[in-house]
Structure 1
Amino acid sequence: MNQAGVRWTTEQVLALAPDDASRKAGNRLSTAGPWSDAGGSGSGVVWGLCKGSGSKPYQTIVDVTGPAYKCSCPSRKFPCKHALGLLLLWAADEQSVVEGEAPGWAGEWLEGRRKRSEEKTEAGTDRSGAGKQADPEAAKRRADRRAGRITAGATELEQRLTDLLRGGLASAEQSGYGLWEETAARMVDAQAPGLAGRVRELGAIPGSGPGWPVRLLEESALLHLLNAGWLGLDRLPEPLATTVRTRVGLPSPADGPPVRDHWLVLAQYDSSDGHLTTRRIRLYGRDSGRSVLVLSFGPAGRAPQLALPVGLMVEADVTPHTGGGQLRADWTEQFGAPSPILGPPPGGSTTAAIEAYGTALRSDPWLDAWPVTLSDVIPVPEPGGGWQLADADGESALPVASAALSRPGLWKLAALSGGAPVTVFGECGHRGFHPLAAWAEDIPGIVPLT
């Protein structure tokens, strides 16, 4: 199957798996044995029948331009092991998945997707008319009530920080985590989840090892700055005010005209807080030079629906969110099939990366990290057990974030380099550099590190 001249790699398929168990199960179904009537079309659709435990085989179909999946199995995972196995077979064995006409059951699903897409487009054209049916006064009253609760929560939190400093930072270790969790719960009651999350992070610092008082003071200062920003919101310029609203937990709207570009999918990784799974997808616009962060959410234990394979370039519209220094955007509409990334985004030195992060902090002082590409750097171990990415010319270096030290991606990066310079994409922040993808001169294509 041509699929615009590109089949995914095994790594790109496995990056879509919701968990390790799904990866292993998908690998077991990646050979031709369990499959019958497997095929694909040049428009980017793959289908097949997979033999299962029942009398009827499972009907599996994947639209790789989405990607989107459909399987008749009862699994609640997304994508299921059958979809992963089919994609792995398609990626590795051109003889087993040949181009042809979609069977009836696959055609019905594709027709349904086409109709839903048309209905969504029509609904979008009527958006302004539908919005007039809402009650703006009722919405304003709800917003005012929530703002009042957040103000009360921020005022209470300011008193909590004042008590902490008056009693000395050592008191935080003595009081334990329970008091911080109680404060966080009160911020949840105040409908300020952003404040609640930062309070929980404060509570974990006293037990985080040597140097914790300095880290606690730094994070307390940032939290105080956020409280002060909310309490003085009417005196802030609008971009910064929008950023403050977002940081305390209010939703940031996707506003403005969509940005159409050829987006390089550079990284995709998931995190969970026990209640919600958050998927972060880092994109770079080939034509605009713009960096974008797309977020997708799913319930705990289940992968979010949106998945974009790392290493491919997709022509699409994204709609940016408002706010100072805001990178977040919504994935709006895709045009055509993806194609391989031919090379990394433009990069620079470690000094330039630090400067870029510092510039971004002017618009968003609570920004944890900024996406950058480092050119000609070498991963080097440090005597104390850490790692750093050093410029090949020896001018400067960036420490690797401690959270990345225990992950296999770091060792994959070290093996890829072998002591030679590489290009690395990742997130540069006050905790160090988190590598997410890399390129080497003698190895074709992108190497995901997540």
Structure 2
Amino acid sequence: MTQQGVRWTADQVLALAPDRASRRAGGRLGAAGPWSGTGTDEGTVWGLCEGSGSRPYRTVVDVADASGPAYECSCPSRKLPCKHALGLLLLWSGGEVPQAPGQAPGWAAAWSAGRRERAAGQRTADAGGTPSSGPADPEAARRRAERRAQRITAGATELEQRLADLLRGGLATADEAGYGLWEETAARMVDAQAPGLAARVRELGAIPASGPGWPVRLLEECALLHLLDQGWLRRERLPDDLAATVRSRVGLTAPADGPPVRDRWLVLARYDVADTRLTTRRIWLYGARSHRTALLLSYGAAGRAPDLALPVGLALEAELSAYPGAGRLRAALGEQFTPPEPTAIRPPGVTTSEAAARYGEALRDDPWLDAVPVTLDRVVPVPDGDSWQLADADEDTALPLTPSARSRPGLWRLVALSGGAPVTVFGECGHQGFTPLTAWPQGAGEAVPLH
């Protein structure tokens, strides 16, 4: 349960918002004015918020769930958390929600009890309490895997021919053909059950006529796609880790097979990437004892935030199991032993030159890698003409910020936090530069989400 008197910061609460509009709306509801009947007891926070309807919205949040906060609100919003849940958590983080042991209203108590019952049932099922429908047929599974591999091989062979036709005709033909050519090719890769290849083909379609130098960028991406094709077609000759990486990049999923690692995991960063089909949530964790950095991925339908929500800057005791592949950064969240709680844990930092070298080393194992997680120690955000960079305070080196990072409000939060002094910054370092995700002031201080 959440410790008595321990509150999250406003930044940690707002980091849970599914989008910028929810963050602003939740911030406006983080005052006592529209709220009544608020209280907190044993990790549950509840309250009534006046809205546009005749009745106030009933809002309740479980902040003691080890997998992240859970929410329930009677408002019609499909966002998770909604603005009322964010406003209630902001009120709670500011110490304006009174302790009310044993005084939860019936609707809040019933929701909390129902969650605990379902969680207990899930633990029983996970422990083998529910009989399975029967043993799987390993021979049938092997035949299905073989058939899918054959379809992917046919798709990769066809894609190689299309890339060869493009280069033979000249890159200028890609601009003339328009996006339809790439969408058709991507559809063929979907038919071949290779969603990873399809996604990379769709990315090719956005490059022609995207600005100065697009033919160079198109050639680079075609080369990486050709390399992935060849990796699949010659996968039997590759080292095990690289072969697993190729299978993952092509779109073949595999279960997390690494041994469970129990640790106290600091939530380094969290952000969502959305397209017309899916919302992908990326959560970076750092193990205080294992010194490992791990990535959790969760998914939601388009327009819906994924369920897994771990507040940035908090830590939880849990087990993680790594997925196969080079680097083994992606992991699955296993049993959680404590809810996320405030912590003084910080990951150790490196210099900007060491960060660039780390990305270069990672490319040897995964040539399709866009970026690696890195914590920079003692860097200062400084302008660089029309862009920005993170200058190392102890050596004459710097990392440029990615174009996307320069356009986000988080840049100005980082500049304000620094004030010209060195800060510690966690983010992703790749070929386009560095994307800052979380920062800490030198000395003591809370984590500040930047995304």
Tell me whether the two structures share a fold, i.e. TM-score over 0.5. Answer: yes
Residue of structure 1 in register with 2:49 after alignment: 50
Deviation at 1:442? Answer: 6.9
Deviation at 1:212? Answer: 2.3
Residue of structure 1 in register with 2:263 after alignment: 261
Decide whether the 8 Å contact of 1:4 with 1:337 is kept in 2.
no
* Range moving further from structure 2, 121-130 or 432-441: 121-130
C-alpha distance in 2, partners of 1:362/1:2? 44
C-alpha distance in 2, partners of 1:279/1:126? 29
Deviation at 1:264? Answer: 1.1
Q: Which runs of 5+ in 2 are unaligned?
A: none
Deviation at 1:435? Answer: 0.8
Deviation at 1:52? Answer: 4.2
Q: Give SS of 1:130's match.
A: coil
Residue of structure 2 in register with 1:32 after alignment: 32
| Overall identity of the aligned pairs, in % | 67
Written as runs of structure 1 = structure 2, the 5 A alignment for 1:115-264 is 115-126=117-128, 130=132, 133-264=135-266
Deviation at 1:27? Answer: 3.1
**Code of the aligned partner of 2:44:** V
Q: Give SS of 2:17's match.
A: coil
C-alpha distance in 1, partners of 2:255/2:246? 13
Residue of structure 2 in register with 1:419 after alignment: 420
Decide whether the 8 Å contact of 1:4 with 1:339 is kept in 2.
no
Written as runs of structure 1 = structure 2, the 5 A alignment for 1:316-331 is 316-331=318-333
**Code of the aligned partner of 2:26:** G
Is residue 14 from structure 1 mapped to residue 18 from structure 2 by the alignment? no
Deviation at 1:132? Answer: 5.1
Q: Give SS of 1:245's match.
A: helix
Q: Deviations over 1:346-398 (max 9, x none)?
A: 01111111121122222222111100011111222223x12221211343221
Residue of structure 2 in register with 1:62 after alignment: 61
**Code of the aligned partner of 1:344:** R
Q: Deviations over 1:321-366 (max 9, x none)?
A: 1222121112223222332232531011111111211222222221
Q: Give SS of 2:199's match.
A: helix
Is residue 298 from structure 1 mapped to residue 300 from structure 2 by the alignment? yes
C-alpha distance in 2, partners of 1:404/1:26? 24
Residue of structure 2 in register with 1:365 after alignment: 367
Decide whether the 8 Å contact of 1:15 with 1:309 is kept in 2.
yes
Deviation at 1:308? Answer: 1.0
Written as runs of structure 1 = structure 2, the 5 A alignment for 1:84-103 is 84-94=86-96, 96-101=97-102, 102-103=104-105
Written as runs of structure 1 = structure 2, the 5 A alignment for 1:98-109 is 98-101=99-102, 102-109=104-111
Q: Give SS of 2:446's match.
A: strand
Please provide the CA RMSD for this pair. 2.3
Residue of structure 1 in register with 2:348 after alignment: 346
**Code of the aligned partner of 2:48:** L
Q: Give SS of 1:205's match.
A: coil
Decide whether the 8 Å contact of 1:312 with 1:341 is kept in 2.
yes
Using the size of structure 2 for normalisation, the TM-score is: 0.92
Residue of structure 2 in register with 1:398 after alignment: 399
Residue of structure 2 in register with 1:379 after alignment: 381
* Range moving further from structure 2, 125-134 or 175-184: 125-134
Aligned length: 447
